[in-house]
Amino acid sequence: MAASTLAEVARLAGVSPATASRVLNGSARTPGPEIAERVKEAARSLGYIPNAQAQGLARSSSGLIGLVVHDIADPYFSTIARGVQSAAREHQKMVLLATTSGTPADEQAAVGAFAARRADSIVIVGSRSTRPQDAKDNQELAAELDRYCSNGGKVGIVGHPVVGASADGYHVVPVPNEELATELARALAAEHTAKFVIIAGPDGLLTSDDRIRGFQRGLLAAGLPEAEVIHTGFDRAGGYQAGLEIAGRIKSSQDPASNQPAACLFAVNDVMAIGAVAALREQGLSIPRDAAIAGFDDIETLRDFRPALTTVSLPLEDIGRLATLGSLGWSETDNAMPVTGVVTLRRSTETVPT
C-alpha cells in the first residue's frame, strides 16, 4: 500500500487539494482557522507524508545539498561533514553524500548525480589535483560544474577552486595553508637545528603543494636551507612508508653521542604524521628525541596521542559550515570572518626531552 496523497487528505477533509496544500505547507497564510484543523486532522489520521519528490518537481527546488568528499571515514572529512550537516540542518536542507577517493572522474560523476537530483547546492571538499594524468578528468569535472552552475546551481568549495571552472556561482572558502605552513616552519626553525624533511603527498596535490611551499618559505626566511621533500601517499600509509625510509637513514647515520634529534619532520597532514611516527617507533626511534615531527590539521581524535603532535589547528567544522553557507548564498554575514588557523606547538617537537 502506497503512502496516502494530498488528494486523499483533501477528499477526506472535504476540501480541495489546493487548500489542503496551503494548510499542510508554508503557504502565505493558513486558510480558514477551522478548516485548517479539519485538514490537519485528516492528514494525521491518514498518516500523510508529503512527497518531497513531487514538491521538488512542482516548485523546482529539492532542498538537497550535495557533499563531495574523498573518504567519509577520514577524520578530516568527517569533521568537515559535521559542519556541513549542521549548516544544512539550520537551513532545513538534507545532505546527499558522495565519496570519490579524490579522483576527478568520480567527482564528476558525483556532481552529475547531484545535478540530476537537482540539488540546491553542492559542496566540494578535498584537495584538487594538477597532475597531468588528471588534466582531462579535471576538465570534464569543471565542465560538469559549469553546466550545473549555468542551470542555476551554486557550489561551495573548500580550498582551491576547481581547475578550469569558470562559470558564476562558485563560492570558495580559502584556507591559508601556505601562510600557516610558513608560520609553522618559522616556529620550528627557531628551536631546531636538525635537518628538515617534508613528508608530502603526491606531487600535484594542491593542498600538499601549498603546505610544502609555505614551509620552505618559512625555512628560507629563517635562514635555513630548503627541506628535502619525500612524496608519498596523502594518507597514513604514505606517512608510514616515508617514516620507514627516514628511520633507515637516521639509524645508519646517527651520531650516538648526539643528544639532539637527527631530523625535524613535517608531515603535510596529521594522519600522515601519525603513520610516520608509527614507523619510526617500530624502528626503535623515539619522538622527539631522535626525530621531531609536526603535522597539519589538528584532528580531534588525534589530540590524545603521546607525544602530543605539533600541528596547525584548523577549524574544520567551521570550514564545512562556511562552505555550505556560501553555497547557499548566505556568505555575506560570514565572509567577514575568514578561515584562519593557529600553529600549535606540542611535545612532538620539543627540543628538551625529559
Using rule CB under 8 A, residue 71 touches a second copy: yes
- Residues 219, 185 contacting (CB under 8 angstroms): yes
Q: Applying CB under 8 A, which part among 61-69, 130-138, 290-298, 339-347 lies near a second copy?
A: 61-69
Residue 180 contacts which entry, a second copy, DNA, none (Cβ below 5-8 A, type-dependent)? none
Residues 129-148 as x/- pattern, contact with a second copy by CB under 8 A: ------------------x-
- Residues 274, 299 contacting (CB under 8 angstroms): no
- Residues 108, 138 contacting (CB under 8 angstroms): no
Residue 300 contacts which entry, a second copy, DNA, none (Cβ below 5-8 A, type-dependent)? a second copy
**Total residues interacting with DNA, rule: CB under 7 A:** 29
State in angstroms the smallest separation of the CB of 39 from a second copy: 18
Q: Which one among 11, 38, 95, 235 touches a second copy, defined by CB under 8 A?
A: 95
* Residue 222 φ/ψ, nearest 5 degrees: -90, 5
Q: 294: which DSSP letter?
A: E
Q: Which is nearer to DNA, 58 or 342 (CB)?
A: 58
Task: Identify the residue whose cell numbers are 556561482.
Answer: 169
Using rule CB under 8 A, residue 45 touches a second copy: no
Using rule CB under 8 A, residue 347 touches a second copy: no
Judge if the upstream peptide bond of residue 307 is cis by omega within 30 degrees of 0.
yes
Using rule CB under 7 A, residue 21 touches DNA: yes
- Residues 271, 74 contacting (CB under 8 angstroms): yes
Using rule CB under 7 A, residue 136 touches DNA: no
Q: Which of residues 42-81 bind DNA (CB under 7 A)?
A: 48, 50-51, 54-55, 57-60
Enclosing H/E stretch for 317: helix 316-327
Please spell the DSSP secondary structure of 194-244, one letter per residue.
SEEEEEE--TTBHHHHHHHHHHHHHHHHTTPPPPEEEE--SSHHHHHHHHH
Three cell numbers written together for 153 = 546551481
Using rule CB under 7 A, residue 7 touches DNA: yes
Residue 67 contacts which entry, a second copy, DNA, none (Cβ below 5-8 A, type-dependent)? a second copy
Q: Applying CB under 8 A, which part among 90-98, 157-165, 169-177, 207-215 lies near a second copy?
A: 90-98
Taking Cα atoms as reference points, which of 154, 118, 92 lies closest to residue 328? 154
Using rule CB under 7 A, residue 294 touches DNA: no
Taking Cα atoms as reference points, which of 12, 37, 11 lies closest to residue 23? 37
Q: Which is nearer to a second copy, 217 or 281 (CB)?
A: 281
- The residues of the shown chain that bind DNA, judged by CB under 7 A, are 2-3, 5-7, 14-19, 21-22, 24-25, 27, 29, 31-32, 35, 48, 50-51, 54-55, 57-60
